[in-house]
Amino acid sequence: MSHVFPRHTKSDLPVIASGEGCYLFDKSGKKYLDGSGGAAVSCLGHGDPEIAAAISAQLEKVAFAHTGFFTSEPAEMLADLLAENGPADIDRVFFVSGGSEAVEAAIKLARQYFIETGEPQRHRLIARRQSYHGNTLGALAAGGNEWRRRPFAPIMIETSHIAPCYEYRNRREGETAFEYGQRAAGELEDEILRLGPETVMAFIAEPVVGATAGAVPAVEGYFRRIREICDTYGVLMILDEVMCGMGRTGTLFACEQEDVAPDIVTIAKGLGAGYQPVGAMLCTAKLYEAIENGSGFFQHGHTYIGHPVACAASLAVLRAMLDRDLIARVQEKGDRLSDALHTAFGQHPHVGDIRGRGLFRGIELVEDRATKAPFSPDRNINKRVKAAAFKAGLICYPMGGTIDGARGDHVLLAPPFIIEDNQIDELVTKLDSALEAV
């Protein structure tokens, strides 16, 4: 009998044995194509010797030194490289151990910024209904999945949720994509005014929505309008790139494609590429200086912030991405994957939408393609697709809660950046057979 507490207590999972490139192998020898990099994590694939060498070199020097006493070379070098290659104005990097922690740090920094700058009444957070920001209480409160929040609602911070930018379902007939984006962004202004602008601290959104929607990018101009609204009312803009960041969409940061400068960005997953558990909260000099010139102490932290081994692994991952020109490869292979998905599923009766950017692609599964009617949640389509794909030797990331965080199914694909054309074909063929089986 196992003593591990698994998340799904009734599941009977195979034991992982090894990984190589885009494939994972379980103990029985079964081979799986990692079509989603787990949950958009394994961007370099499995078993990369350079990353393993960077980790063991750091382990041999020193594994851990508490950030209350020391900084470390890998943390300093990684922060420099991220700030150098990051969105405009981003200047400081706070390292944590994962995505939820990064989002917690972002929320707390936003709050503390307003305390330090003499606006302590600003405490409200606005997020979007189609979103996932993590599973710790603050991040969970921000997330859009009502079913995730419901059991913990009495012990969570209050958050408002506005509509996402979700062209497939929400753009009206006769409206251009741009007009739709301006209308969708307008919901933020309405909500700020409803709450009272002087009480709102931040708006948080994923530039390309991942787990809850299957790679949904915003339409052109949406995020620029969001930025304008935030500026008008002095609200901070937090972009959660935990899933879509670190090259996944074809630029190092997804927000580069939106032409906006966020106040805070969160990253994780692809930062350590699965080689170490790591995340980061990046912010502008303005926010950092508010603390530096104020209390001088960010009231947040964990034992493992800035862990030297995690930072050494992430530094090696980021250098690999830059030195091997992998982000250009994401664009090229992403186009190839998009074409293959359109060829295979463009006319599929149960595929309503095919979307995404770079190697971050999603398909939305519907009961009826013409009316866009979703499957009833009790049919468990996403779970059945996941199981059928897994049986066929494909790891993909199907989730429910696509529509307003409640109904709807999609499949999210986020393969390693090293994927080859024949593996893209294998991925699409296996996904096709899984959809057929369901």
Q: Which residues bind ligand PLP (CB under 6 A)?
A: 39, 98-100, 103, 132-134, 206, 210-211, 240, 242-243, 268
Dist CA 351 CA 196 (whole Å): 41
Q: Cα separation of 152 and 146, whole Å?
A: 10
Residue 239 CB, nearest distance to ligand PLP (Å)? Answer: 10
Cβ distance to ligand PLP smaller for residue 128 or 171: 128
DSSP 3-state assignment of 214?
Answer: coil
Q: Which is nearer to ligand PLP, 414 or 435 (CB)?
A: 414
In the complex with ligand PLP, the residue whose CB is nearer, 382 or 423, is 382
Q: Closest CB to ligand PLP among 134 and 334?
A: 134
**Minimal distance in Å, beta carbon 156 to ligand PLP?**
16
Whole-number minimum distance, CB 103 to ligand PLP, in Å? 5
Give the CB-nearest residue to ligand PLP: 99
- Shortest separation between residue 266's beta carbon and ligand PLP, angstroms: 7
Distance CA 419, CA 23 (A): 10
**Cα 346 to Cα 332: distance, rounded to the nearest angstrom:** 20
The neighbour count for residue 283, using CB atoms within 10 Å, is 28
The CA–CA distances, whole Å, from 45 to 36, 42, 72, 397, 418 equal 10, 5, 27, 16, 7
For the bound state, the minimum distance from the C-beta of residue 70 to ligand PLP, rounded and expressed in Å, comes to 25
Closest distance to ligand PLP from the beta carbon of 97 (Å): 8
Tell me the angle at which helices 285-292 and 99-116 cross, rounded to the nearest 10 degrees: 60
The beta strands (E) that lie in 71-175 are given as 90-96, 124-128, 159-162
Shortest distance, position 408 Cβ to ligand PLP, whole Å: 17
Of 134 and 217, the one with the shorter C-beta distance to ligand PLP is: 134
Q: Which is nearer to ligand PLP, 147 or 178 (CB)?
A: 147
CB crowding 335-374: b at 16 or more within 10 Å, else e: ebbbebbeebbeebebbbbbbbbbbbbbbbbbbeeeeeeb
Give the position of tokens 């050494």.
Answer: 312
Integer Cα distance of 75 and 81 in angstroms: 10
Is the CB of 132 or the CB of 166 nearer to ligand PLP?
A: 132
**Edge-first strand listing for the sheet containing 23-26:** 16-20, 23-26, 31-34, 394-395
Token pair recorded at residue 180: 């739709």
Inter-CA distances, 341 with 90, 143, 312, 424, Å: 35, 29, 36, 9
Comparison of 210 and 334: residue with beta carbon closer to ligand PLP: 210
308-323 vs 73-85: helix crossing angle, rounded to 10: 40
Smallest separation (angstroms) from ligand PLP to the CB of 39:
5
Residue 114 Cβ vs ligand PLP, minimum distance, rounded to whole Å: 23
156, with CB counted inside 10 A (0-12, 13-18, 19+), is middle
Residue 98 or 308: the one with the smaller Cβ distance to ligand PLP is 98
Structure tokens at 185: 């962004």
DSSP state of 46: B
Closest separation between CB of residue 272 and ligand PLP, Å? Answer: 10
| Residue 233 or 417 having the CB closest to ligand PLP | 417
